Amino acid sequence: MDDTDGAGHIEVPAAAAWRNTTHDWAGGVDTGHLSRIRDDAAAFAPGGLRHLVLEVVAYAADEAESRGGGRCTVTLHADGSVSVADDGRGTDTRFDDAGRAVRKPVMATKDLRFFDHPEPPPLPDGHPRRGMSVVAALSAWLVHTNRRAGGAWTQRYEYGMPVTGLTLVADDGTTGTLVHFRPAEPLPAPDGPAAAGTTAAWAGSWPYLSVEVVDRRTGVSRPRPPRAGRSG
């Protein structure tokens, strides 16, 4: 059955009545949006891998600010992939009338706050924030795992398109979101421990978020505490 509309959105009818805040619950996948990003990687990820990392950390920072504080670990893996793990409430996941889990489509649809905004806020690298879909669309693969008080799920994407369903995983008693991705070529990757330090310094731009950067390519761990004066 073809669930796409004329604009290339995959519809999720049960979610159509849910109030949109950051993403459109009624559109599970926006293929046109993802294609637009892939067709102009230089514009949407002008800082290469570092910019993509900051796009992900920005969501952890949003969550930390909403809770008065939080922690995040950025891990640079030997295979060129990056994982960003936070201790927040986990990506918003709801249940439709049939009892099926529906996760907010942060990876495959635009962030309504930033993507088409004429003056989106800058990330710490000085480039505009556009949203998590930029990371997904420009990654050869991305695995999104979220743990909430009501359950835990994981899903794999390739170039922004889901290639698995939303899969239930065992509850380990924690909450938070883990995004593990490997950028597609020709995005440049940071090279050496100095790059990890730069990423940590930029990540420290968010006052409510404590960030640690672990470079498994070199064994370097670079904690970055939140700014002084943070509440919580």
Active centre residues (catalytic): 55
In this structure, the strands spanning 70-76 and 209-215 are parallel
Helix residue spans in 71-161 (DSSP H)? 132-137
Helix residue spans in 140-218 (DSSP H)? 193-203
Q: Are 32 and 8 in contact (CB under 8 A)?
A: yes
Per-residue exposure over 160-190, b if at least 16 CB sit within 10 Å of its own CB, e if not: bebeeebeeeeeeeebbbbbbbbbeeebebb
Residue 76's nearest CA partner among 222, 213, 223 is: 213
In angstroms, the CA 175 to CA 128 distance is 29
Residue 152, SS3? strand
